[in-house]
Structure 1
């Protein structure tokens, strides 16, 4: 997985629906996560708004879509112009912008299993992957479908 994609997915998965946990609810963990990426931690409410907006944009059915403006800057580096940010939200949005430019934004998806809703990056050739994991969520859903058909038949 590309570095930008893995960073965005990691940020989107700071909430875990299946376990009922949210890294943003623990200031120590949130600041540690940000520091681990060499970035300043945004206030939790700001980070949550950004995370929810991005999760909605890629298909989280629990969240309303919406617009959100985030500040980043363009810096001339040794490699040329680059989108840069000092805080997590700006860095995540800069990574998302790079994914859009490369045509990879559409590969960011949310698992449709309502007990999972894990964000993932679809690395399949034709971008047709549905489940975060075929072994876990995909298998569960196929088993449910089979049981429903068997009960009806």
Structure 2
């Protein structure tokens, strides 16, 4: 699945960044999703950031940049996972430490509108800081609450929830939602809840 293009523009790169870790591990219509990680090397990080237009082509990341990027991704994914089940206090503390590495500054656009920007640190740090700034802006506008992690334990794909209630649980009702409903149905019938058991 690609990034959900129904997300607000400010969250498209955030959604794509969070889905560089693909935890899908299920079979659907004969296709096995084995998941994977797009950020396995500094070169892979550089290539991903360039594809997203967050750094100029040819920008080279180092091992430290890769480590920071992966820690940031883990921190933001932990935030979304906390909506599925209660967050672990240690994970929250670790996420807050990671997010503290990205100072932001308030500035003004040429038209005088306040904006939040990453506060220096070089091209790569600013690119990752831009993701943090986008999250902060989205949180202020309320759209961050619509970015969700699929509740299916063998999926955890990040998606933008377009449901009316804003309480979507599945990245796809046709895939993960249907699998969950089928699993619940089978469990009820295995337990004799169909009314036929005596």
Please give the range of the TM-score, normalised by the shorter of the 2 chains: 0.7 to 0.9
Cα offsets for 1:58-109 (capped at 9, x unmatched): 2266972231211233343234332234533201111111111111221121
TM-score for both structures, normalised by structure 2:
0.69
Residues 4-153 of structure 1 aligned to structure 2 (within 5 Å) = 4-18=10-24, 19-40=34-55, 43-59=65-81, 64-66=91-93, 67=96, 68-69=99-100, 70-79=102-111, 80-85=113-118, 86=123, 87-153=126-192
The gaps in structure 2 that reach 5 residues or longer are 1-6, 25-33, 56-60, 193-198
* Aligned-residue RMSD, C-alpha: 2.1
Tell which structure's C-alpha radius of gyration is larger.
2
Q: Conserved in 1, the CA contact under 8 Å of 2:157 and 2:171?
A: yes
Q: Conserved in 1, the CA contact under 8 Å of 2:42 and 2:65?
A: no
Cα offsets for 1:20-78 (capped at 9, x unmatched): 41111133322111112333457111011111111111226697223121123334323
Q: Distance in 2 between matches of 1:129 and 1:111?
A: 8
Cα offsets for 1:116-139 (capped at 9, x unmatched): 011111111210211111111111
TM-score for both structures, normalised by structure 1:
0.88
Runs of 4+ in structure 1 deviating by more than 4 angstroms, as ranges, are: 60-63
The aligned length equals: 153
Q: Which has the higher contact order (CA 8 A, sep 6+)?
A: 1
The gaps in structure 1 that reach 5 residues or longer are none
Q: Distance in 1 between matches of 2:174 and 2:127?
A: 32
